[in-house]
Structure 1
């Protein structure tokens, strides 16, 4: 929902903790064996708080950081560790860059000996809702209210893009901070469109007309990462939200009865069923992984592909020169939508947390204060062509075509950026939605079946007293 992760999440992602591609390849590790943090938490002796040490870090306390090493690598995290070591030269800093973070750290959560900082991202990541229920994560309020590392006069919370704090908030407590800012849309080659004289569609009717033109030109209008139908859900859900507004989004996230029968959702499902029914999806897309589908798109075998804003970074080694990939916002279903056409689905990814049982909680918070500094975020943007969660991080930079289009989309959306939370809160519902959409676009179930299947999964969760519920 994370490059090479995902939701993601979706968000990725999505679940929504998606950084690229594999965020939902495997279900997040769940917490049947994650125990609640009790009163036996080992005492951490902090340092004296001051203007230079606002979080009370003990200068010689060791710091251990575990980072998901996906498409973004982990060099950006290592640079923040080096800054930490410069400020606290007596502290030993240990770094691990891993592909399977959840698998590595879950036993340590069980043993109450977790690292001080965890980038809980990638396939098999820990289920954050379970960690929250077990009181295994630190409330980040102190960090958010601390002075920004390199922006005098501002608190950390005031330096973040819209929705970043909310994405990591459960029952009023912010327990994760997402370092990258993911925007979901439809990607195309600006060079191909210019060459063919095609114009990016603003409405779904225009999209279908263009798809017919593209098909007649011998190019598949769309492909998608078929093994992970979450990718196709992003534009479907975005279209639905634009139609039904935030009330639709809240009804879904709050597990309301008949939420998945709302007209905005069924109309969006019908639109994507029509996309498949008219033959506008590249043949064989269902069997493709994210890398295979994206490679075919880069080879101009298809004109559109749905993806989050990590796509450019993930494809950097295989994108042909002059391809000029850009992201467009999801076309409006109709002129009567409750959200403007510029509205985008956006959320954080690369999800950082400080375990409640960490030996050096203050150090973990200070590390995040350094990581989320503007200098750190700007360097990340330059290296990865990805929008960080820190506002203004790309100011003054010469941006690539992809990152420039993402930045422009966020600017145009202004206050109309939104995000579904159910993927983060309820992993089983996220899987039910993904599975149903995969069946829908491969013409094995009807829109009515799609709606009924997902609503059944939502209702089951709503009635399950063992599942902690969240509302917005």
Structure 2
């Protein structure tokens, strides 16, 4: 899954290198000049036909880099690459799996010799917004306008869930494909809840009443990933959007003055801070990383934990027998909220890119078209236990209980799905910026007003920095 907590000094280093066109190559004293934008000089394109709508050069090598993280790389080597090889038997696939994508590829981007396809994810992610602003990414419009792999009468874009393309769009153009569809909300052990007769709450009043009962039973009502407090921005913003409507999130993305100090943001922050005041957080959770807090939750020390739908897969090796993962949307802060309880934050994730200077960018686009086929998406779900942005691709797939629960919630939400873009567009504002401030709020080091003012100041830094490309939605 994508983790945007990469060391910012490395990101600044890449930014400076890309901007100046020079980078000291590791192990040498030489500078690599940045190739001119507009595509690698050795790019080739095949004849466009009904069977080859993207004009893939059928005998050209395809170089692929996959982030070797939570999803591993077997979905590529076992599903997508064989599909490509079957259609283009004369093409050689050069596959590499890397943990540190930036460390492996930043010099190649600067040198004008990047791979044809990159899974740009993990702690070593190269910031997507920076790659876009430095004109390093291939426009994916042709991919989304191409016939789908499964039905030549339907465009690829028409096979995807709403918002799938928007998540990778910058300045009106799509540059990033996000394959995994993550559902975010609160997770609980259904076995534990059924045993105690606890019912997931639909309002915050019900949450506080249930939390009192849970604490009385000797269980902490909530745990959260304290060292990575960004996990708590998800319920914060989702509950604010439910209360006042999705324009609250649009204001944040568009860097509107005062957006972080909207009353709905303050109400949501006050609710989460109130859990600390009432003693409803697991003791010490603010100092735990995601593994420690989630393991404590799996052990039954806490009732609720916020997370994305990768949680079940991430915890499968440490979850005790009889534990049944279950998902619930965040409660409503008010009975007259603008959006219904079923509203959830769901977002396409796990980014894939085709570098603009790749030698075989059309092969990279075709590889993406394979990923977005029913077979490619279904295989991904079966291999990594994640939903995808391809409509109906998970139908008929036997999913584990937690993912089934999340899929049911996604269906119940209908069009009431919220998302935001600031964390992708303005990575430094998000981390360490907003993330550090919510950590301070939840640990009691900042009041609600201090928290929202600090977040507003982070947005102001971006507004005032002319070197940062601004985006709107």
For the criterion TM > 0.5, the same-fold answer is yes
Instruction: Report the Cα offset of residue 353 of structure 1.
Output: 0.7
Instruction: Report the Cα offset of residue 316 of structure 1.
Output: 1.5
Do the aligned residues in 2 keep the contact of 1:387 with 1:406 (CA within 8 Å)? no
Indicate whether 1:70 and 2:69 are aligned.
yes
Instruction: Report the Cα offset of residue 384 of structure 1.
Output: 2.4
**Secondary structure of the structure 1 residue equivalent to 2:381:** helix
Per the alignment, do residues 151 and 40 of structure 1 end up closer, same or farther by CA in structure 2, a change over 3 Å counting? closer
> 1:433 and 1:389 mapped to 2: Cα distance?
28
**Correspondence 1:47-86 to 2 at 5 A:** 47-78=46-77, 79-86=79-86
**Correspondence 1:118-197 to 2 at 5 A:** 118-197=118-197
Indicate whether 1:352 and 2:352 are aligned.
yes
Which runs of 5 or more residues in structure 1 are unaligned?
A: 7-22
Indicate whether 1:245 and 2:245 are aligned.
yes
Instruction: Report the Cα offset of residue 114 of structure 1.
Output: 0.6
**Correspondence 1:71-110 to 2 at 5 A:** 71-78=70-77, 79-110=79-110
Instruction: Report the Cα offset of residue 46 of structure 1.
Output: 1.2
- Corresponding residue to 1:32 among 10, 16, 38: 16
> 1:326 and 1:421 mapped to 2: Cα distance?
27
Instruction: Report the Cα offset of residue 40 of structure 1.
Output: 6.9
Per the alignment, do residues 100 and 381 of structure 1 end up closer, same or farther by CA in structure 2, a change over 3 Å counting? same
> 1:201 and 1:268 mapped to 2: Cα distance?
16
Aligned to 1:256: 256
Instruction: Report the Cα offset of residue 373 of structure 1.
Output: 1.1
| TM-score, normalisation: structure 2 | 0.93
**Correspondence 1:311-390 to 2 at 5 A:** 311-390=311-390
Q: Deviations over 1:134-154 (max 9, x none)?
A: 110011010001111123422
Do the aligned residues in 2 keep the contact of 1:151 with 1:374 (CA within 8 Å)? no
Aligned to 2:30: none
Instruction: Report the Cα offset of residue 242 of structure 1.
Output: 1.0
Q: Deviations over 1:159-191 (max 9, x none)?
A: 111211000001110000111001110000111
**Secondary structure of the structure 1 residue equivalent to 2:441:** helix
Instruction: Report the Cα offset of residue 383 of structure 1.
Output: 2.5
Instruction: Report the Cα offset of residue 25 of structure 1.
Output: 5.4
Do the aligned residues in 1 keep the contact of 2:38 with 2:357 (CA within 8 Å)? no
Instruction: Report the Cα offset of residue 131 of structure 1.
Output: 0.7
> 2:6 and 2:210 mapped to 1: Cα distance?
32
> 2:186 and 2:180 mapped to 1: Cα distance?
19
Do the aligned residues in 2 keep the contact of 1:149 with 1:373 (CA within 8 Å)? yes
Do the aligned residues in 2 keep the contact of 1:29 with 1:103 (CA within 8 Å)? no
Mark the structure with the bigger radius of gyration. 2
> 1:387 and 1:204 mapped to 2: Cα distance?
29
> 2:400 and 2:106 mapped to 1: Cα distance?
38
Do the aligned residues in 1 keep the contact of 2:44 with 2:359 (CA within 8 Å)? no
Per the alignment, do residues 283 and 40 of structure 1 end up closer, same or farther by CA in structure 2, a change over 3 Å counting? closer
Do the aligned residues in 1 keep the contact of 2:37 with 2:136 (CA within 8 Å)? no
Q: Deviations over 1:1-22 (max 9, x none)?
A: x1xx52xxxxxxxxxxxxxxxx
| TM-score, normalisation: structure 1 | 0.94
Instruction: Report the Cα offset of residue 463 of structure 1.
Output: 1.4
Q: Deviations over 1:225-273 (max 9, x none)?
A: 1110001111111111111212111111111111111000010010011
Stretch deviating more after TM superposition (436-445 or 142-151): 142-151
> 1:38 and 1:381 mapped to 2: Cα distance?
36
Do the aligned residues in 2 keep the contact of 1:25 with 1:228 (CA within 8 Å)? no
Do the aligned residues in 2 keep the contact of 1:259 with 1:455 (CA within 8 Å)? yes
Per the alignment, do residues 39 and 180 of structure 1 end up closer, same or farther by CA in structure 2, a change over 3 Å counting? closer
Per the alignment, do residues 445 and 52 of structure 1 end up closer, same or farther by CA in structure 2, a change over 3 Å counting? same
Instruction: Report the Cα offset of residue 39 of structure 1.
Output: 4.8
> 2:38 and 2:61 mapped to 1: Cα distance?
23
Aligned to 1:17: none
Aligned to 2:31: none
> 1:124 and 1:271 mapped to 2: Cα distance?
34
Aligned to 2:208: 208
> 1:281 and 1:77 mapped to 2: Cα distance?
40
Aligned to 1:11: none
> 1:375 and 1:39 mapped to 2: Cα distance?
33
Stretch deviating more after TM superposition (264-273 or 150-159): 150-159
Structure 1 runs of 4+ with >6 Å offset:
none
> 2:242 and 2:7 mapped to 1: Cα distance?
29
Do the aligned residues in 1 keep the contact of 2:37 with 2:356 (CA within 8 Å)? no
**Secondary structure of the structure 1 residue equivalent to 2:107:** helix
Instruction: Report the Cα offset of residue 322 of structure 1.
Output: 2.0
**Secondary structure of the structure 1 residue equivalent to 2:227:** coil
Aligned residues: 453
Which runs of 5 or more residues in structure 2 are unaligned?
A: 20-33
Do the aligned residues in 1 keep the contact of 2:180 with 2:348 (CA within 8 Å)? yes
Q: Deviations over 1:197-250 (max 9, x none)?
A: 000000111111111111110011111111100011111111111112121111
